[in-house]
């Protein structure tokens, strides 16, 4: 299983809700086992710069690639790119078990 995690910061803190809304259309893409789009709860005592988190689980690299090739993925980018500052992404193979 591939875990896909993306962190976003907003250019303007007032746009965090719009970023969440724009990314939430990703949940309609059928290739993920699980996909969550949430505002950061800011519970870390060291750093809380991240505003929005996208967390997804995919059966394999082909499912992740199909997710990224879906038209809604491009639409989410179109909606969110003007509102975001930073974007950090990580994909990794989850340990079996």
Q: Can you give the residue ranges of every domain in the chain?
A: 2-93
CB–CB of 95/14 below 8 Å? no
Provide the pLDDT for residue 97.
67
Counting as low any pLDDT under 50, the low residues of the chain are: none
The SS3 call for residue 49 is coil
As given in the structure block, the two tokens for residue 19 are: 């970023």
CATH architecture, domain 2-93: 2-Layer Sandwich (3.30)
Provide the pLDDT for residue 31.
95
CB–CB of 89/9 below 8 Å? no
Rounded CA-CA distance 57/95 in Å is 13
């Amino acid at each position: 299983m591939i875990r896909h995690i993306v962190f976003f910061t907003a250019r303007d803190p007032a746009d965090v809700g719009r970023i969440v809304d724009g990314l939430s259309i990703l949940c309609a893409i059928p290739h993920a086992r699980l996909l969550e789009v949430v505002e950061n709860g800011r519970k870390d005592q060291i750093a809380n710069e991240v505003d929005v988190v996208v967390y997804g689980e995919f059966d394999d690299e082909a499912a992740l690639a199909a997710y990224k090739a879906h038209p809604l993925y491009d639409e989410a980018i179109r909606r969110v790119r003007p509102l975001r500052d930073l974007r950090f992404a990580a994909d990794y193979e989850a340990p079996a078990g």
